[in-house]
Amino acid sequence: MPRPAARPGEDAAATRGRILDIAQRLIQDRGYNGFSYRDVAVEIGIRAPTIHHYFPAKSDLATALVERYAADVAALQAALARDEPRPWKRLAGYFAATRERMLAKRQLCLCGVLAMEANSLPDNVRNAVDRFFADNRAWVADQLRQAKAAREIDFSGAAEDAAAMIVSALQGGLLLSRAAKTPEPFDAAVKQVSRALGF
């Protein structure tokens, strides 16, 4: 009789959104193979099979998650490009956003986690993750070129290589910080990257 909430009329897409939010947090926390529909269900207050109504298979949930996540990051990058005229400041904003969004909650990048587990993931998910990193590298490389042209920063070699190094350092820094249970390794890596670029 005393069933808390979220039954019939509770809303339509609201439940779907909650499923995505909780699943994303759980994956960032424990990985794709480390969470179950049941885990998500108990947090919402529904039964596990109900989730199949929104996402028939677990891989459907993962696919939707990566798409939403990639769109969020792309929106952040677009906002930085719109609001911040100095390219080097856009890069700094990107670093800071990575730190805030991920490290404040002691979480890794969703796509970083899924890249690690790529070998046990359906192809469409794996391809979406690959695209995420390719897009990020391209965006970072673009800012690097603009900042260099504006003489705000300096680096030798191709912008694409520098971008690969930067994205790798961010992902790896998150990894080391998780193992160490402190933001120190991530912060040290980002500090050194910034210094190498000259800001």
Binding site for DNA (CB under 7 A): 6-8, 10, 12, 15, 35-39, 41, 45-50, 52-53, 56-59
CB closer to its own copies out of 65 and 189: 189
Cβ 176 vs Cβ 133: under 8 Å: no
CA distance 170 to 187: 9
For the bound state, the minimum distance from the C-beta of residue 1 to DNA, rounded and expressed in Å, comes to 12
- Site residues for its own copies, 14-73, by CB under 8 A, read 29-31, 33-34
Binds 50, which of its own copies, DNA, none (CB < 5 to 8 A, cut-off by type)? Answer: DNA
- 120: how many CB neighbours lie within 10 A of its CB? 10
**183 lines the binding site for its own copies (CB under 8 A):** no
For the bound state, the minimum distance from the C-beta of residue 181 to DNA, rounded and expressed in Å, comes to 24
Task: Tokens 């260099």: give the residue.
Answer: 148
Rg, the chain, Cα only: 19
Return the range that interacts with its own copies (CB under 8 A); candidates 7-15, 41-49, 69-77, 165-173: 165-173
Cβ 137 vs Cβ 94: under 8 Å: no
CA distance 173 to 27: 18
Q: Could you please report the per-residue DSSP string of 132-192?
A: HHHHHHHHHHHHHHHHHHTTS----S-HHHHHHHHHHHHHHHHHHHHHHTSSHHHHHHHHH
For the bound state, the minimum distance from the C-beta of residue 76 to its own copies, rounded and expressed in Å, comes to 19
**156 lines the binding site for its own copies (CB under 8 A):** yes
Contact set with its own copies (CB under 8 A): 29-31, 33-34, 108, 111-113, 115-120, 126, 129-130, 133-134, 137, 155-158, 160-162, 164-165, 167-173, 175-176, 178-181, 185-186, 188-189, 191-193, 195-196
